[in-house]
Amino acid sequence: MTTYLDELRVGMTASTAKTITEADILLFAAVSTDTNPMHIDADAAAAGPFKQRVAHGMLTAGLISAVLGTRLPGPGSVYLGQTLRFRTPVKIGDTVTATVEVTDINIDKKRATLTPVCTVAGKTVIDGEATVLVPVRS
């Protein structure tokens, strides 16, 4: 359901959660063409800094886009900008919860600023700031 500009309030939140699978990583590698061995090659990843395969950071960050586009503000919103900080890697089998909170509303520009946070078992894996163009009623 869409939240229109006149309904939006600072402090509103929405979330989604997803367990990251082997298939998610392989499909994201295929679509993005990011075939970095740390994501798709167990032997190469074992020699890397995380000692195992990890999900693409942008795969995890995609959950933020899912919340913005489907929950808050929802359908009709336009993702304008994003800053991200990748805090810790996400592994196959981790359940990531992406939550966004409205932190500012600019009525004149029809924009909202939201703080996204992705967590795994309560630990922050990604945080940052997002700006969206919010739908207005016709």
Peptide bond just before 73 cis, omega within 30 deg: yes
5-20+56-133 is classed CATH 1.20.1340.10:
no
pLDDT exceeds 90 at position 1: no
Closest CA to 67 of 6, 126, 138, 137: 126
The encoded tokens of residue 58 equal: 């942008």
Distant-in-sequence, close-in-space partners of 2: CB < 8 Å, separation ≥ 6: 73, 74, 75, 76, 77, 135
Overall pTM > 0.85: yes
Distant-in-sequence, close-in-space partners of 138: CB < 8 Å, separation ≥ 6: none
Give the whole-number percent of the chain exceeding pLDDT 70: 100
